Structure 1
Amino acid sequence: MADPDILFVVLDSVRRDRVSAYGHDRTTTPNLDQLAEEATLFEDAYTPAPWTLPSHCSMFTGVFPSEHGVTNGFSDQSLRLPESIDTLTERLSADGYRTAGFSNNPWVGSLSGIDRGFDEYVEWDLEIGVDGDTDISTTRDRLYSAAHGLLAQAARQPVFLLKRRMFTANLVERATRWLRATARDGPPTFTFLNLMEAHSPYFPPRDAFEALDLSPPGPIEPRLLNTRLLAYVLGRSDLAPEQRERVLEFYDASLRYQDRKLGQLLSVLKETGRYDDSLVVIVADHGKNLGEHDRNGTPPHSTRSVNTDVPLVVKRPGQDDPKRVSHPAELTGIFDLASDPELSPTAALCGDEGAFVEDYVPHTGRTSEPTTRWRVLSDGTHRYVRAEDGREYLFGPDGSQLSKNEGDLRNQFAEAMESRVARLAERGDGAKAEPETLSRGIESQLEDLGYLE
C-alpha cells in the first residue's frame, strides 16, 4: 500500500458537546457531520492536556507533557520541544513526505518548535516561517510577511484583524493552494492546520448566526461581549446566565463559520482526486469552560469534561462507511496513526487502561505562583482526578462528585493511575528554564487570547 496523503486539522478549543455530530441540537458542524458519515467517530476522546501548547506538543510527539517537558506557559518550563524528541512532521519528512503547516495560534509554530520538519509553514500572524518551493504565497502575502513586525508594533495586533476571519480565510486559502499544487503525481503530502474560531474572542459573521436561526449582533455587541468574556477568563468577574447564553450563541456561530472552511479543505481533496485514499484526522486540542465551572474551584475546571473531552473524527484511506468507537481514546495516538498507515485508528488511539490527561496549573502568565500538577484518568464513565499533593476526586457519569463511600472504586482508579504514571519517562522535573523572551506582537496576541494579563 502506497503511503497516503494526510490531512490533519486541529479545531482549537472546540467543545465536544457543541458539535452537531455529537448530538448538539444546533447544526454547528454540517461538514464535519458529513465526514463522520463515512469515517470513524470516537465518542469518548480525551486531550493529553487541557490547553493548546502542551496538547499540540503531545499530538506531534506521541508522548505526554511530563515526558516532552512542555507543561505550562511561563512558570517553570521551556516553551519549546526538546530537539531530542522527533516530531510527527520530522518522521514523515524522513519517510519522503512533502509537508506544509498553517497555524492560527501563536503557540503552534516556531515559538514551540512545532514548525520543525515542515517544508512550508505559515505562522499565526501570516508570517512565512518556512518558505518552500510550491509558491503558495502571493506577492501580497509575501509583502505582508515582510512587514508584519512593523504592522504589529503600529497596530498592537488588533484581534479583529489578526485572529478573526481574515486570518482563518487566508490560511485556508493557502492550504488549498498547497493541496492543488501538490496534487500531481509525486511524494505523499502531510498538511496540517490549526484553526481557532472557537477560541475567544468571538467575531463570527452575520450569516453564521442566520444559518443557526440566531439573532445576529449589532455593530457594538461583539466588542462588549468579548470584553466581558475576557474579564471572566482572567478571573475578574463571572458571567451572568443571560451573558453566558449569548456567549454560547457566538461560540456556536463561530463553529458554523469554521466548519465552512473545513468543508472547503475537504472539497479540494475531493476535486483533486485525493480524498478517497487520504488519511483525514479532524480533532480539537481541548475544550472550553464557558461558565459551567468555577474558574477558581478545586479540582481545576481544566480537569473537567468541558475542557478534556474533545471531538475526534478519522477517515482512514479507502474508508467510506461510518464507524463509532465508544472506548476511551487518547490523542497521543495520532502520532502512531499518521506514522503507520497500516495501523487501524482504534489500535492507535485506544488502550486498555482508559484515557489519561495531565494538567499543570497555572497554565500561563508570568507569576511566582508555584505550579501544581493534576492528572486525570477516565474509563469513559467515571473520572478520577488527583493532584501531586495527594488530593483526589472521583466523579460519576453525570459529572457529580462521588462520596468517600466509593472506596473500592476510588482505590482501583488510584492503583491504575499509579501504574500509568510509573511508566512515564519524565523529562519535566529537571532544571527550571528561564522565562521566554517574547516579541511584543506575540505578547499582545496572548493578552487578547486571555493567556497574559
Structure 2
Amino acid sequence: MRGPSGPDPPPSEPNVLLIVVDACRADALGPYGASVFDRRGEPGSDASHRPAETPAAASLAAGGTVFRRAISPAPWTLPSATSLLTGLDPAEHGATSLRYEYDGDRGRRPLQQALSSAGYRTIHLSPKTWIGDWLPQGSGFDRVDEFTGPDHRRFEGGRDVRELSRGVARGPRWYATVIRRALAADAPLRSLGNAAAFKLSEATGDAWLDDVRASERAVRLADERFAEAAANPDGRPFFMYVHLMDPHLPFYVPADHRTDAVRPPGCDDYADERRYLASLMDDLWAIRTGDRRLSPDEVTYLRTRYADEVRYADRAVGRLLDSLNERGLSDRTVVVLTGDHGEHLGERVVASDSRDGAEATERTRDGTERTLLDHQASIRLPLLRVPLVARYPGVFDGGERTDLVQPHYVAETVRALAGLEYDPSRSLLPDDDHRSVARASYEGVVRSHPPDGVPTEKLFRRRRTAVLGRWKLDLVVGDRSGPSESTATTGTVGSAGTGDSARFRASRIDWGANEAETVPLDAIPDDVRTRLEDALGTIDASATDDAESADEGSGGDAAVDRTGSDAGDADERDIPAGVEDRLSQLGYR
C-alpha cells in the first residue's frame, strides 16, 4: 500500500463521476476505431452496418486518456460492479453467483464508504438490480436514486402491475391471473386500472422502452445532483456512480435512434419486432446451451440494434458531460467512462477452433456449432474487453495507453487522487507500476436461475482466464468430458482441489479486431505461460474458500447441481421482489 504522499496531491480533492455503460463492448465505441460488424466470417457487408456513432465518448477521449486494453474482471454485472466499487478481483471480494454479498472481511471498504468517511458526498444512480443498495457492496452512499423505467402503478393505492403479473409471461393466462389478483386486492378498481394502463402503453410501444426511459431519468437526476454540488456552500466534493442499462438485452430502442432498414427475419414492422424480442428473451437459455442457434439474419439484426442502443447510451453520456460542464464542474472532476462487461452478438463457435481439444466444451451436444449471445457461461474476449476512458486535467488529459489494465483499478486511482491510502499495483496513475497480468473469473450461472429442465452442466462450470500481452489462457474447471491430449499433464492446475477435471484453452489476441484465435498450448512462450498459469492458480486459491463455504451452506451437492430443478439456493441472499422482476425482464430468470 502507498500512503497519500505517493502521487503529487491535487490542490483539493476532486469530484468523481464514474459512468458505467452496461454490456458495452470496447469495439462498439468510436474511440476504439472498430465496428462490432467487422468480424471475420460474420454477417456484415451491408451499408447499414457501420460503427456506432459515439460523439460523446469521442469528445471525452479527445480530452482524456483512452486505455485501449482494458479487461473486465468478470463477464456479468454483480462481480464486475463489486470489483469497481472495491478495487478487488471477484475471487477476493466473494460477490459471485455462489454468494451475492461482498465479504467485507476479505479486503477494503467499498469506495463510496471510504470517500464518505473522508468528507465526500456519495451518490448512486442506477437501476435496482445487481448493483442496488440491497447488497452490502452497494450500501453506504449518502444518496441513492434508483430508476427502473416507466411507472407500473399509475393509480396510487392500486397494486403494481408487476406484482399482479408475477410468474406469468403473456397470453390468456396473463389476463386471467391479473384480473383475479386485482379483484382480490385492497383497491380492485385502481389495480385493474394499473393493468389496463400498462397494456395500453404496451400496445403503443411505450412500455417496451423501460431502459431508454431509465437512461433519460438518470440524466435528469444527475443534473439535479450537479446543480446541488455547484451551489453547495461547504465545498464538499462528490463521488457519483451512474449505471446506464443500455445496451443490455432486450434491445428496445427509441424511434429516432432505430435503424428501421434492418428488422428480425419475418418482421414487417416494429410491433412484429417487439414480439420477436419477447420470444428471443424466452429462448435465451436455449441459446446459452446451444439448443437454439441464431440465423445470419438474426445476427445482422441483433448487431444493428446493439449499435443503435450504444448510440442512444452515448447520447445520455453526452448529456451528463454537458450538464457537468454547464455547472462549472468539469475542470475539478475526474470523469471515467467504462463498461461492466461486454456482450456476445452472434459469434460462432466452430469445430475448426478446437485445435487443443478444449473447444469441444463450447459446442452443442450434437457436435454442431453454437452461436453466442448475451453474457453468460463464457469468458471470451468480446465479453471481457471493455472501454475505459478517463479525464482529469494534469493526470488524464490526452493520448492513448496500450498497457493492460482492468476497470476496477479505478477504485485505487480515485483513492489516490482523494488523498487516501491506495494500492499502486492496481492504479491507473501514470507513475504507478500496476500488475501486468489481467485476471477474470466466472463461477457459473446463479444456481436458482435456469428454468426446470434446462440441461445445465456446462452453465455451472467455473471459468478463469489470464491475459498477458497478446496471450490469453482460459481454464474451465468442472469439465467432465475428460482431459484432452494438450491438457493431460496440466489439467489439475487451478482445479482448486475439488477433484474436478480442468481444461485449458490458449489463444492469441488480435487487439485491433477484438478477437482471440485459439492456438495450441505450446504456442505460448514458456515464460509467458508460467506467468499465466500462476495467475490462474492465484484466482482459484482465493475462490476455493467461496466454493467450499457455499457447499457447506447448501448441503455440498447443491453447488454442483446439474438438473436445474433443485437449484440448491439455500445460501443465496433473498432477492427483493422488485429486483427479481427486473432481473427476469433482463433475461436472468
TM-score by length of 1: 0.85
The alpha-carbon distance between structure 1 residues 407 and 121, as it changes in their structure 2 partners (threshold 3 A), is closer
**Cα 1:440–1:310, aligned 2, differ >3 Å: closer, same or farther?**
same
Which of 135, 142, 145 matches 1:119?
Answer: 142
Residue 114 and residue 419 in structure 1: after superposition, are their counterparts in 2 closer, same or farther (change >3 A)?
Answer: closer
Partner of residue 406, structure 1: 523
- Following the alignment from structure 1 to structure 2, what is the Cα–Cα distance between the partners of residues 437 and 377? 32
* Residues 356 and 375, structure 1, Cα contact 8 Å, conserved in 2: yes
Label 1:358 to 1:21 Cα distance change in 2 as closer, same or farther (>3 A): same
Q: Following the alignment from structure 1 to structure 2, what is the Cα–Cα distance between the partners of residues 334 and 80?
A: 21
Give the corresponding residue for 2:490.
none
Match of 1:33 among 35, 58, 63: 58
State whether residues 472 and 508 of structure 2, in contact with CA within 8 Å, keep that contact through their aligned partners in structure 1: yes
Residue range with higher mean Cα deviation, 176-185 or 253-262: 176-185
Residues 280, 122 of structure 1: alpha-carbon distance in 2 compared, 3 angstrom cutoff: same
Query: Are positions 1:204 and 2:253 aligned together?
Result: yes
Give the aligned residue type for 2:247: A
Partner SS for 2:138: coil
Could you tell me how far 1:189 is from its partner in structure 2? Answer: 0.5
| Corresponding residue for residue 103 of structure 2 | 82
Q: 1:243 aligns with which of 298, 308, 312?
A: 298
State the shift of 1:162 in Å.
Answer: 7.3
Q: CA deviation at 1:417?
A: 2.0
Cα distance change of structure 1 residues 386 and 272 upon mapping to structure 2, 3 Å threshold? same
Residue type at the aligned position of 1:154: L
Q: Distance in 1 between matches of 2:579 and 2:131?
A: 12
Q: 2:110, 2:137 within 8 Å by CA — same for their partners in 1?
A: yes
Distance 1:172 1:43 in 2: 27
What residue in structure 1 maps to residue 498 of structure 2?
Answer: none
Q: For residues 251 and 328 of structure 1, what CA distance do their matches in structure 2 show?
A: 26
Tell me which structure has the larger Cα radius of gyration: 2
- Aligned sequence identity (%): 25
Against the structure 1 CA distance between its residues 283 and 404, is the aligned structure 2 distance closer, same or farther, given a 3 Å change threshold? closer
- Return the offset for 1:67: 1.2
| 1:335 partner letter | A
Matched, 1:188 2:188: no
Q: Hey, what's the Cα distance between the residues in 1 that align with 2:155 and 2:100?
A: 23
Query: Is 2:308 the counterpart of 1:261?
Result: no
- Structure 1's 194 and 146: CA in aligned 2 closer, same or farther, altered over 3 A? farther
Give the letter aligned to residue 175 of structure 1. A
The yes-or-no answer on 1:446 pairing with 2:583 is yes
Deviations 1:186-236 (A, max 9, x none): 2001111110111000111121136xx955883314313413532453125
Structure 1 equivalent of residue 428 of structure 2: 345
Residue identity in the other structure for 1:7:
L
Name 1:336's counterpart in structure 2.
412
Match of 1:223 among 269, 274, 286: 274
1:232, 1:239 within 8 Å by CA — same for their partners in 2?
no
* Corresponding residue number in structure 1 for 2:505: 393
Alpha carbons of 1:419 and 1:167: their partners in 2 closer, same or farther (altered >3 Å)?
closer
Which stretch has the larger CA shift, 309-318 or 320-329?
320-329
Native 8 Å contact 2:463 2:474 kept in 1:
yes
**Number of residue-to-residue matches in the alignment:** 433
**Could you give the per-residue CA deviations for residues 147-168 of structure 1, whole angstroms, max 9, x where no partner exists?**
7973431365989367322222
1:14 aligns with one of 12, 24, 29: 24
Aligned AA for 2:399?
A: K
Residue in 1 that maps onto 2:195: none
Per-residue deviation, 1:423: 7.6
Q: Give the 3 Å change call, closer, same or farther, for CA 422–110 of structure 1 in structure 2.
A: closer
Distance 1:49 1:36, change over 3 A: same
Q: Distance in 2 between matches of 1:98 and 1:291?
A: 42
Can you list the C-alpha shifts for 1:289-312, whole angstroms capped at 9, x where unaligned? 121045996368621111000000
In angstroms, what is the RMSD of aligned CA positions?
Answer: 3.3
Match of 1:288 among 331, 338, 343: 343
Residues 285 and 310 in structure 1, CA contact (< 8 A), matched pair in contact too:
yes
SS of the counterpart of 2:517? Answer: coil
Question: Is the Cα–Cα contact under 8 Å of residues 9 and 283 in structure 1 kept in the other structure?
Answer: yes
Looking at structure 2, the residues matched to 174 and 145 of structure 1 have their Cα atoms a distance apart, in angstroms, of: 23
Cα distance change of structure 1 residues 221 and 34 upon mapping to structure 2, 3 Å threshold: farther
Closer, same or farther in 2 for the Cα pair 1:42/1:214, shift >3 Å? farther
- Alpha-carbon distance in 2 for matches of 1:102, 1:271: 20
| Deviation (angstroms), 1:416 | 3.5
Matching of residue 42 in structure 1 with residue 42 in structure 2: no
Pick which of 264-273 and 299-308 moved more: 299-308
Taking the aligned partners of 2:432 and 2:546, their CA distance within structure 1 comes to: 24
The residue that corresponds to 2:332 in the other structure is: 277
Q: TM-score of the superposition, structure 2-length normalised?
A: 0.67
Partner of 2:42: none
Q: What SS class does the counterpart of residue 443 from structure 2 fall into?
A: strand
> Secondary structure in 1 aligned to 2:160?
helix
Q: Tell me the equivalent position of 1:358.
A: 441
Contact 1:289/1:306 (<8 A) preserved: yes
Q: Output the amino acid matched with 2:462.
A: R
Matching residue of 1:298: 361
Q: Which ranges of structure 1 fall in alignment gaps of 5 or more residues?
A: 128-139
